[in-house]
C-alpha cells in the first residue's frame, strides 16, 4: 500500500509503506480542524482494511456512531456532519486500537447479548451470539421443570463471565434463583454491574469459586459456557481473541473438555431430578462428552445439539425423576 499524504489544510494520516496485516500503525498529526464524518469514515475504512480487519466498513461505522452517539441511519444520511477536533482525536484513537486487532466491544465497552446491552472489558469474554442457544435451551428446560417442581427453580451458571447467561435467564424467567460462579473476581465485578443494570440482582447470587466447589444447593438446572478451546489452539486463535480475551476464559485443557468433564462429575450428586444440565461445547467434542455423560448419568436423555451452522454446540443431559 503506497503512503499517502493529504492536502495540508486537512488532518494528515500516514499509512505505512507496507501495511502489516497484524500491526498497522495509524498516525495523525495535530492539525485537527474538524473533518466531516464521511471523510473520517472513508479514511478509517481504508486503514482498517489495510490492517486486515474483517468488515472494516461496519467496524469503522460502529466506532464513529458510538462516539457521536448517532444511529446508523443518521450517519448514512449526514456524511457532511463536522466532527469536532476532540471527537476526531478520540475516533482516531479508537481506530488505532481496532487496527491493532483489539475487539470493538472492548473499545466501546459493551456488547448486546440476547437483546440486553452488557458491559464488557478485558476481564471477561465477549458474549457470543452462538451462546444465545444455551439460553434458549435453558428457558425451554425451565418450562419443562417448573410445573414438575411447583416452586421456584434453583440453577447454577458456571463460568458466568460478564453474567450474560445468568442475566438473560433471570430477565426471561424470574421464577428462578441462580447461583452464578466464576473463578475471576474481576469478571464477577463486571457481572454484578450488568445484573444491577438489568435489575436482576435479587435473583442472582454471584460467587467466586472453582466450578461447583462453593455451591451446596441442590440444583434443578445447570448451565455452563466454560472454556473449551484445546490449550495448544489458544495461541493460534485470531488475534482479536487470542491476544485480547482472557486466556482463563478460553483454555479448556489438553483436549478442551477438561472443565466440562469436571463440572459434570461434580454435579452428579447435586442435581435434584427431574433436572437438566446444559454445556456449551466445541465442534468435535460431542462424542467424547456424551460418552462421559452416559457413564455419569445412566438413564438420562443425552443429546448433542447442533447450531444453525451445523456445528456441535450444546451437550444436553435431562435426568428424569424415575
Ligand atoms: C467462555 S467464558 C464464558 C463467559 C460467559 N458465561 C459467556 O457465555 O459469555 C468462561 C468463563 O469461565 C471462567 N472459568 C474458568 N475456569 C473456571 C473455573 N474453574 N471455575 C469457575 N469459572 C471458571 C472464566 O473466568 C470465564 O469467565
- Among candidate residues 51, 68, 64, 38, the one with its CA nearest the CA of residue 102: 51
Residue 245 lies in a domain: yes
Residue 163 lies in a domain: yes
Give yes or no: residues 298 and 234 share one domain: yes
- Going by their DSSP bridges, the two strands 219-224 and 271-280 should be labelled as parallel
Cis, peptide link before residue 309, omega less than 30° from 0: no
Q: 41 falls in which pLDDT band (50, 70, 90)? A: very high
Distance 105 CA to ligand 1 centre (A): 18
Q: Assign 313 to helix, strand or coil.
A: strand
Q: Is the pTM of this model over 0.85?
A: yes
Give yes or no: residues 231 and 278 share one domain: yes
Give yes or no: residues 172 and 275 share one domain: yes
Give yes or no: residues 158 and 292 share one domain: yes
Give yes or no: residues 167 and 35 share one domain: no
Which stretches of 84-163 are DSSP H helices? Answer: 85-99, 104-108, 132-149
- Among candidate residues 175, 181, 235, the one with its CA nearest the CA of residue 210: 181
Q: Quick one: average pLDDT of 194-199?
A: 98
Q: Return d(Cα 111, Cα 13) in angstroms, integer.
A: 30
Distance 90 CA to ligand 1 centre (A): 32
Q: Which residues line ligand 1 (CB under 6 A)?
A: 124-125, 127, 131, 158-162, 164-165, 181-184, 187, 210-211, 225-227, 248-249, 259
State yes or no: pLDDT of 9 exceeds 90: no
State yes or no: pLDDT of 216 exceeds 80: yes
Q: pLDDT tens across 290-317, in order?
A: 999 999 999 999 999 999 999 999 999 9
Give yes or no: residues 70 and 128 share one domain: no
In this structure, the number of other CB atoms found within 10 A of the CB of residue 172 comes to 17
Q: Quick one: average pLDDT of 13-40?
A: 50
Give yes or no: residues 88 and 126 share one domain: no
Residue 106 lies in a domain: no
C-alpha cell at 229: 478451546
Residue 26 lies in a domain: yes
Give yes or no: residues 134 and 247 share one domain: yes
Q: Return d(Cα 215, Cα 226) in angstroms, integer.
A: 16
CATH number at residue 36: 1.10.8
Chain mean position to CA 277: 21
Give yes or no: residues 170 and 26 share one domain: no
> Which residue reads 454446540 in cell numbers?
313
pLDDT score, position 174: 86
Domain interval for residue 233: 121-319
Which of 119, 120, 121, 125 has most ligand 1 atoms within 8 Å of its beta carbon, as the pocket-test mutant?
A: 125
Amino acid at each position: 500500500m503506497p503512503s499517502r499524504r493529504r492536502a495540508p489544510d486537512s488532518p494528515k494520516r500516514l499509512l505505512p509503506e507496507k501495511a502489516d496485516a497484524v500491526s498497522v500503525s495509524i498516525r495523525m498529526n495535530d492539525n485537527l480542524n474538524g473533518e466531516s464524518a464521511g471523510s473520517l469514515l472513508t479514511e478509517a475504512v481504508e486503514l482498517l482494511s489495510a490492517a486486515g480487519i474483517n468488515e472494516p466498513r461496519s467496524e469503522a461505522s460502529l466506532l464513529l456512531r458510538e462516539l457521536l452517539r448517532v444511529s446508523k441511519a443518521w450517519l448514512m444520511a449526514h456524511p457532511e456532519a463536522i466532527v469536532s477536533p476532540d471527537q476526531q482525536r478520540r475516533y482516531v484513537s479508537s481506530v488505532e486500537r481496532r487496527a491493532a486487532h483489539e475487539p470493538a466491544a472492548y473499545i466501546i465497552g459493551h456488547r448486546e447479548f440476547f437483546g440486553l446491552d452488557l458491559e464488557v472489558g478485558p476481564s471477561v469474554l465477549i458474549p457470543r451470539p452462538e451462546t444465545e442457544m444455551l439460553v434458549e435451551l435453558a428457558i425451554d428446560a425451565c418450562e419443562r421443570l417448573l410445573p414438575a417442581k411447583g416452586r421456584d427453580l434453583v440453577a447454577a451458571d458456571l463460568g458466568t463471565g460478564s453474567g450474560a447467561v445468568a442475566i438473560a435467564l433471570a430477565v426471561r424467567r424470574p421464577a428462578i434463583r441462580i447461583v452464578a460462579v466464576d473463578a475471576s473476581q474481576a469478571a464477577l465485578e463486571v457481572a454484578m454491574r450488568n445484573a444491577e443494570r438489568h435489575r436482576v440482582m435479587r435473583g442472582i447470587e454471584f460467587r467466586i469459586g472453582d466450578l461447583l466447589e462453593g455451591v451446596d444447593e441442590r440444583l434443578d438446572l445447570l448451565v455452563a459456557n466454560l472454556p473449551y478451546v484445546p490449550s495448544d489452539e489458544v495461541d493460534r486463535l485470531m488475534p482479536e481473541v487470542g491476544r485480547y480475551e482472557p486466556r482463563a476464559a478460553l483454555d479448556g485443557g489438553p483436549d478442551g473438555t477438561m472443565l466440562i468433564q469436571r463440572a459434570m462429575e461434580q454435579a452428579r450428586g447435586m442435581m435434584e431430578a427431574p433436572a437438566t444440565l446444559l454445556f456449551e461445547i466445541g465442534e468435535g467434542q460431542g462424542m467424547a462428552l456424551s460418552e462421559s455423560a452416559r457413564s455419569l448419568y445412566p438413564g438420562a436423555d443425552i443429546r448433542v445439539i447442533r447450531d444453525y451452522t451445523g456445528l456441535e454446540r450444546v451437550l444436553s443431559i435431562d435426568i428424569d425423576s424415575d
